[in-house]
A = this chain, B = another copy of it.
Amino acid sequence: MIKKILVANRGEIAIRVMHSCREMGITSVAVYSEADRNSKHVRMADEAYYIGPSASAESYLVIDNIIEAAKKSGADAIHPGYGFLSENATFSDRCKNEGITFIGPTSEVISIMGDKISARKKMVKAGVSVVPGTKENLVSDEDALRVVKEVGLPVMIKASAGGGGKGMRLVRTEEEIIPGVRAAKSEALAGFGDDTVYVEKFVENPHHIEFQILGDSHGNAVHLFERECSVQRRHQKVVEETPSPIMTPELQAKMGEQAVMATKAVNYVGAGTVEFLVDDDLNYYFLEMNTRLQVEHPITEQVTGIDLVRAQIEVADGKEIPFKQEDLHQQGHAIEARVYAEDPYSNFMPSPGLIQNISEPLGPGIRHDGYVYSGYTIPIHYDPMISKLIVWGANRDEAIDRMKRALYSYKLSGIKTNISFLSRIMESEDFAKGGYNTNFIAKNEDFLMAEREIDSEVEDMAIAATFLAFIDKTGIGTNSNKEDANCTENEWKAFGKRRGVMRLY
């Protein structure tokens, strides 16, 4: 039985895992780099071990250091969170060899699903829809015309040896086929010394929809419905929701079934995600499988009532999944917004730094998964995500209204954040309508990035407050006005004095 879990991660996800540990009576062990001594995950854990310098390559990614901490602490399991070592087959294997339960799939499954070609093959064999295409080399122009017609336009011509966008050509019309194939071939030859190219269907502005799955070591597998993840900026998800606004019961049943097939095809044990591309005609294609907990897992928890971390721990511990597919239902609607330390109005430049005031939204339907606190300095070394606001509503409209309130009430000062940008997404007509796809941010850029018009009265209040802050700080306009950088009056005491009128007893 798992009694002590080392969480090989930091930030909000480390804390999220520790929540379930505490509820299950499991001791939690944190690991931390030099930059993270004051991080909340260290403070919240039952135990904490130092694993190296700030750069993650020297700490959170060093398998030896993490295994050493696990052995020292006597942890019987390791939860990798997301990112870092969560999809590292070597790490999964190493844990197994050291007799520590890795809360995630085996190295074999990670390897198969981590490679796109082998994952595609495995899925095709299991009967899962993949993006149509052939692996046939296009030798002649005739081959090219025939194969492209089989697959159907638009298509992407891809170099077999390719990568990083080289040797790729998007072909939309019949006339483009032959020039496209030739260009791809010559680029491939130049780039990789091999002019083998093949054809894949091009899915235009797809919806990015993923299914949460869960498998146990007794051969059971279920899906926990979908998450719509099409609001992306530079392939980085920003807002997710469930159910997907484009989902129909029929489509959900079909895709869910395929997700379970994919899970069973690899004897998957643990929580994972099967990602699909869906076009506007609701054709869907397997994209990849994430063999770990996702950032956006909370929205699934909100509509299904299942604690996914608890479920992960239980199946890792050899237990059966404690529910059947037919027990699972989506109730209401959930949305997650990722709050980043970044400046949306300066090209989303990261904005690490000292957090001044924080005020978190309260009340019905709001969940907050975060890790920062007032007085904490967000380090420069890691991901700029500060927290996730998750709302639940009886229906989609209520959830959107609630998210607007949550964003409005969430105050976080001292650094720049994308809160206002997130709010703009909620305010956009396109989001409200719900049929959006991965083109959403590009399409709505003007609206999302428009400067907020500032009401003239609001502007005057900003001026008034600036003025008061200035005179309160310098003491101008009060009886005392001496100021000395090394010997100012205690800030809190001064604050207390100014507020004196309110101490009514």
Max chain B Cβ within 10 angstroms of own Cβ: one of A352, A363, A379, A504:
A363
Q: Which A451-504 residues have C-beta < 8 A from chain B?
A: 486-492, 495, 499, 502-504
CA distance A34 to B404 in the complex (A): 32
4 closest cross-chain pairs (CB), A and B: A23-B401, A19-B363, A22-B405, A35-B504
The reply to whether the CB of A307 lies closer than 8 angstroms to some CB of chain B is yes
B362 touches A15 (CB 8 A): yes
A363 touches B369 (CB 8 A): yes
The reply to whether the CB of A201 lies closer than 8 angstroms to some CB of chain B is no
CA distance A22 to B38 in the complex (A): 36
A364 touches B487 (CB 8 A): no
Question: In the complex, given contacts A54-B504, A307-B365, what are 6 additional A-B residue pairs having Cβ atoms less than 8 angstroms apart?
Answer: A15-B363, A22-B404, A22-B408, A307-B394, A375-B495, A377-B503
The reply to whether the CB of A398 lies closer than 8 angstroms to some CB of chain B is yes
Stretch at the interface among A57-65, A108-116, A202-210, A298-306: A298-306
Known: A332-B305, A359-B373, A490-B491. A38 touches B499 (CB 8 A): yes
Q: Which B residues lie within 8 Å of A409 (CB)? A: 44
The reply to whether the CB of A402 lies closer than 8 angstroms to some CB of chain B is yes
Q: Which B residues lie within 8 Å of A502 (CB)? A: 35, 37-38, 377
| Chain B residue with Cβ nearest A387 | B362
Q: Which B residues lie within 8 Å of A34 (CB)? A: 504
A364 touches B364 (CB 8 A): no
Q: Which B residues lie within 8 Å of A365 (CB)? A: 307, 367
| Chain B residue with Cβ nearest A298 | B364
Q: Which B residues lie within 8 Å of A489 (CB)? A: 486-487, 490
CB pairs A–B below 8 angstroms (21 shown): A15-B362, A15-B363, A19-B362, A22-B404, A25-B401, A35-B504, A301-B364, A307-B365, A307-B394, A331-B331, A360-B360, A362-B368, A364-B369, A366-B367, A377-B502, A377-B503, A381-B504, A486-B489, A487-B487, A490-B490, A492-B492
Q: Which B residues lie within 8 Å of A360 (CB)? A: 360
Min CB gap A174→B, angstroms: 52
Min CB gap A455→B, angstroms: 13
The reply to whether the CB of A24 lies closer than 8 angstroms to some CB of chain B is yes
CA distance A377 to B495 in the complex (A): 13
Min CB gap A210→B, angstroms: 19
Q: Which B residues lie within 8 Å of A380 (CB)? A: 504-505
Known: A394-B306, A505-B380. A362 touches B373 (CB 8 A): no
B401 touches A24 (CB 8 A): yes
The reply to whether the CB of A370 lies closer than 8 angstroms to some CB of chain B is yes
Fill in one digit per residue for A23-39: 1 if any B CB lies within 8 Å of its CB, else 0: 11100000000110110
The reply to whether the CB of A166 lies closer than 8 angstroms to some CB of chain B is no
B364 touches A307 (CB 8 A): yes
| Chain B residue with Cβ nearest A482 | B487
Q: Which B residues lie within 8 Å of A499 (CB)? A: 38
CA distance A54 to B292 in the complex (A): 55
Q: Which B residues lie within 8 Å of A364 (CB)? A: 16, 19-20, 298, 301, 307, 367, 369
CA distance A156 to B404 in the complex (A): 55
Fill in one digit per residue for A350-365: 1 if any B CB lies within 8 Å of its CB, else 0: 0010000001101111
Min CB gap A439→B, angstroms: 29
Q: Which B residues lie within 8 Å of A495 (CB)? A: 375
Q: Which B residues lie within 8 Å of A332 (CB)? A: 305
Fill in one digit per residue for A46-75: 1 if any B CB lies within 8 Å of its CB, else 0: 000000001000000000000000000000
